[in-house]
Chain A
Amino acid sequence: MSLVYAVHETRSRIREIQANARNGLVSELLNKSTHDSMYLISEKMFESMILALAVNNVTEFDEKLGIYTIYNELVPQLVGEGSTREDAVEQLVEGSIQFAQDYLEHADVYSGIFDGLQQLLISLIILSEGDRNRVREVLKIA
């Protein structure tokens, strides 16, 4: 038994591939022409990967301007400012939603700029579909 499937047989063998995921096995979907691979994993594995993702946010306070800035260490493009830390966090959440929308619009351009972990975090924000509480969870904001 092989866990490597040619992309063209994905449709005909989808039940087998889904069963693999349920049994905790990773299936590789291989495009033999381009040598590109995609991997199908279970929700359990996906959630474990998310938990293992190191998501830290850095807070800095500018004493002269009286402004807090909070940004994500993994994807520093996710950034917020405010006169209080909570205002900065709110702007970080709002800015992350806007960033995700812009990213999705030009994913072909941005995908070459960000590494795999960054892409995973950005994808999780996109999957949050604008739900601010889910974005807070993804960004591990207390």
Chain B
Amino acid sequence: MPDSVCQGEFLKFLQRNHFSAKGKHHTLYLGILDGVPRVVTFHYHKDNDEIPTGTLSALARQLGLEKKDLVTRIKGRV
């Protein structure tokens, strides 16, 4: 599936957008996307682990994006 996203790709997307981990559980990432402050819950395990489609939907909602738009941005197509 061409639009599948791995954890490493999403982590790089967060880093590209200057998100940083907060909290003692290290699962919350805080940053600003398109001028709006956002909090993202992301459980990172391994770079090559694929993110399930439902989790990708949740991540897109957390960032105020459509899933398709999020995938496009993660893949660096814009």
Do chains A and B interact in one complex?
yes
Give chain A's interface residues, CB within 8 Å of chain B: 58-62, 64-65, 67-71, 73, 76-79, 81, 95, 98-99, 101-102, 105-106, 109-110, 112-114
Q: Which residues of A contact B50 (CB under 8 A)?
A: 64-65
**Chain A residues near B53 (CB-CB < 8 A):** 60, 62, 69
Q: Bound complex: CA of A76 vs CA of B38, how far in Å? A: 11
Are B39 and A77 within 8 A (Cβ)? yes
Of B9-17, B57-65, B69-77, the one contacting chain A is B57-65
> Known contacts A98-B25, A98-B27, A102-B22; is A78 also within 8 Å of B54 by CB?
no
Interchain CB contact under 8 A, B24 and A71: no
Do B1 and A64 touch across chains, with their CB atoms under 8 A apart? yes
Is there contact, CB below 8 Å, between A69 and B58? yes
B54 touches A60 (CB 8 A): yes
Interface residues on B, range: 20 to 34
Closest B residue by C-beta to A66: B52
CA distance A67 to B43 in the complex (A): 15
Q: Would you call B57 and A102 a contact (CB within 8 A)?
A: no
For the A-B complex, the count of residue pairs with Cβ-Cβ distances under 8 Å equals: 78
Q: Does the CB pair A79–B55 fall under 8 Å?
A: yes
Q: A69-B54, A71-B58, A79-B58 are in contact. Are A113 and B23 (CB under 8 A)?
A: no
Q: For B52, give its contact among A69, A99, A113 (CB under 8 Å).
A: A69
- Given contact pairs A99-B28, A101-B23, a sample of 9 additional A-B residue pairs in the complex whose CB atoms are under 8 Å apart: A64-B1, A65-B52, A81-B52, A95-B27, A95-B41, A99-B41, A105-B23, A105-B24, A110-B39
Chain B residue contacts of A102, Cβ below 8 A? 22-25, 27-28
A-B contact pairs, 18 of them (CB 8 A): A62-B52, A67-B55, A68-B54, A69-B53, A69-B57, A69-B58, A71-B54, A71-B55, A71-B61, A77-B28, A77-B39, A81-B52, A99-B41, A101-B25, A102-B24, A109-B30, A113-B38, A113-B39
